[in-house]
Amino acid sequence: MWGIVYRKAPMKVTSNGVFQGDDPLDFALPLAILQICLVLVVSRGLAYLLKPLRQPRVIAEIIGGILLGPSALGRNESYMKAVFPPRSLTVLDTLANIGLIFFLFLAGLELDLKSVRQSGKRVIAIAMAGINLPFAIGIGSSFVLKQSIAKGSDNAAFLVFMGVALSITAFPVLARILAELKLLTTNVGRTAMSAAAINDIAAWILLALAVALSGHERSPLVSLWVFLAGCGFVICAIIIVPPIFKWVSQRCHEGEPVEEIYICGTLAAVLAAGFVTDAIGIHAMFGAFVVGILLPNDGPFASALVEKVEDLVSGLFLPLYFVSSGLKTNVATIKGLQSWGLLAFVIFTASFGKILGTFVVSLLCKVPLNEALVLGFLMNCKGLVELIVLNIGKDRKVLNDQTFAIMVLMAVFTTFVTTPLVMAVYKPARKGGIADYKHRTIGRKNANSQLRILACFHGARNIPSMINLIEASRGIQKRDDLCVYAMHLKEFSERSSSILMVHKARRNGLPFWNKASHSHSNHVIVAFEAYRQLSQVSIRPMTAISSMNSIHEDICATAERKEAAVIILPFHKHQSLDGSLNITRNDFRWVNKRVLEHAPCSVGIFVDRGLGGTSHVSASNVSYRVTVLFFGGGDDREALAYGGRMAEHPGIRLLVIRFVVEPPKEGEILRVDVGDSSSSTKLISQDEEFLDEFKVKTANDDSINYEERIVKNAAETVAIIREVNGSSLFLVGSRPVSEVACALKSSECPELGPVGGLLASQDYPTTASVLVLQQYNNDGAPINFTPELEEHLPDQDSGSV
């Protein structure tokens, strides 16, 4: 008699709609869309809530997955049947694993094999200590678990899985924690990154061994064949992959779009490698990781590839892996004193082995005590890599529900405490200080002393005008008269491309470009290096890699460390083809605002309208008309000092216009609040003294013209400024001490001040660039536009992006 087996029909893809009686949640596509949207809302919401605690986003995603699973919301059976029914999990897990495959490809691409090979004996010793001791302790703790909650687990596989789970360090998570704490290029950060990279590679090898040992009940020889086939795959990949992608990289040039066929071919190769390793009996992600680690990551092809893949993977697919893991995690299985005691035991053994092993070997390698302790804390972070190991163990039935839940909570705890522990223990010493920092302004008594400028830029668009501004600033006296630090401001985020930026950092306090190895492939370095060779300027390109909420700290710290007299920042608007100024990115405005508030020296905001055109103008071809609009006050004196410096260049003619307010006629009342009368009188006397000195120094210089114009109101002031619209560059102060200047129309950009705001406004027709200067004043400024600025700018505390 034939037995009849009834199977529930698989879910159809799309519904006919609610109007025809269909429930969208009974169909695969609308249900998958709902699941994705729910995961994104929960994970991003938690990331926002954890932002003040400076936690990496992976913590929010792991917790979000747990909350959506049976540990929290999943306790409601109606919710689980409606949103995560068993029939939908195949589609969800498939999408999650596709995301995991490409994430592991990007993770492999993030690892810099060159730096791993060049790691010194000290880094290798620290990395090995951070693997061996935790691995041994993990094996020891596995015997405790097998005697209590993990009875019946496969012996060999369980031992190896526990050893790997406790010895792993999450390289991507560690890099983001270091960036958040601004430790990327400190000694601690460099050592931790290199050791974590070695740890990561070793952990994947051990995990491959664990997977080979698990799930083969037929014969022990099967595990051997799986392992040998995996080794064969790696050897073939080492022979085949690098030459092919080296050829592809050579055909992709900086600044040119990468052909679509190369991108598609690479993604297909990743999936094919995943198929091969899955067929061997190892997880498909191993093939993707091997391809990623073998692909050259130092050219434009790698950058273009990461840019096209990372947002879709990390933003859409990867969060599904966290909810897939969360659906397997049931915290309710941890009940009773024994289970919670085992959780504490696992957390203690995991942290103890990792921290102690790293700490002791670091001390033996003559690492300072607090740095050795910080290295131990940093190497103890787990994150997504740990979750991948645990999920493979769960899928292979090596870990049961209770063991899996305990290990997931251990991973969350150890990663969560990493940032606060490091912040509590490690306080990097500041190099230099206020006492030995002499020249904080452009104006100074000794005009022949070296002028140090920190010129910041966001991209290639800013470079030509910035170089032309530097050329105009160099004078003609002697070669060492000007020293410029050109800082490329780059945002560090959760994206994989941020890690590729880190690999280009030079070992010099803050992230610096490594000119020796990257100048051939980076047009930014080429531009500044070419200018340095052609001019008499000492120019040093560098980059700051940080979140936009805290990059001002890097700018100010670099200015103090390099003893800069002025920081020059690009305006947050750029000139379009029709001549109007359009917002590039509002975040740049917040950066400028914070630098103005915290700078240890003078600050200039450069409104670029194409100074000198779109290319560098050589010294012999410079022909600029620079105009200083002088109303009074420290900022205007700083602008005039800069103008006097520029006038030394043979190709620059300087016009100084001093605006003098006509005294009010008898019976006329004019009231403008510019502070108390004593401070106003003091400022006027300082202005007179400064102007007298300037006129004496430049009396015989035909390239400098000085005019005094008497004005009664703001309208006359604007009319006079319009007369010099043909200037190439305006130099103005951000806080002029003058009745007529303060009476100008309020600017939409208060950080530029009334005069700078007028010159940068859409209503004022001019092709001249504008440099708005704020003089450093340790005693406080006479007039402060901060209250007005706060009305335009939301208050944002420094934090992680």
Q: Has residue 670 got a pLDDT over 60?
A: no
Q: What is the pLDDT of residues 600-612, one digit of tens each?
A: 999 999 998 888 7
Percentage with pLDDT > 90 across the chain: 29
DSSP class per residue in 417-455: THHHHHHHH--PPPSS-STT----SS--S-TTSPEEEEE
User: In whole numbers, what is the pLDDT of the chain averaged over residues?
Assistant: 81
3-state secondary structure of 457: strand
pLDDT exceeds cutoff 80 at 186: no
pLDDT for the residue numbered 595: 94
8 A C-beta contact, residue 509 and residue 429: no
| Tens-place pLDDT, residues 533-574 | 777 678 888 877 777 888 888 899 889 888 899 999 999 888
Tokens at 728, concatenated: 């190439």
Q: Which of 61-70, 153-162, 658-667 has the lowest mean pLDDT?
A: 658-667
Give the pLDDT band of residue 1 (cuts 50, 70, 90): very low
What is each CA distance from 84 to 12, 100, 270, 329, 415, in whole angstroms? 16, 20, 29, 14, 28
Does the structure show a pLDDT above 50 at 92? yes
pLDDT of 198 reads 87
Q: In 3D, which of 747, 742, 743, 750 has the Cα closest to residue 761?
A: 747
- Is residue 45 scored above 50 in pLDDT? yes
Lowest mean pLDDT among 83-97, 206-220, 334-348, 602-616: 206-220
CB 545 within 8 A of CB 502: yes
pLDDT, average across residues 12-22 = 87
Comparing C-alpha atoms, which of 330, 292, 304 is closest to residue 100?
292
Predicted local distance difference test score (pLDDT) of residue 282: 84
pLDDT at 2: 46
Any idea of the CA torsion for 747, 748, 752, 757, to the nearest 10 degrees? -50
Provide, for the chain, the percentages of residues in helix, strand and coil under a 3-state DSSP scheme, each rounded to the nearest 5.
60, 10, 30
Asked if residue 64 has pLDDT above 90, the reply is yes
Q: What is the mean pLDDT of residues 633-637?
A: 90
The pLDDT score that the predictor gives to residue 583 is 82
Lowest mean pLDDT among 192-206, 301-315, 472-486, 759-773: 472-486
How far apart, in whole angstroms, are the C-alpha atoms of residue 529 and residue 539? 8
- Higher-confidence residue of 641 and 436: namely 641
Does the pLDDT value for residue 451 go beyond 80?
yes
Dihedral sign for Cα atoms in the order 552, 554, 559, 561: positive
The Cα–Cα gap between 473 and 538 comes to 12
Position 318 scores a pLDDT of 87
Q: Which of 302, 281, 168, 161 is nearest to 233 (CA)?
A: 281
Mean pLDDT of 78-97: 91
Q: Specify the range with the lowest mean pLDDT, choosing from 228-237, 500-509, 540-549.
A: 500-509
Write down the pLDDT at residue 11: 79
pLDDT score of 512 more than 80: no
Contacts of 244 (CB under 8 A, 6+ apart): none
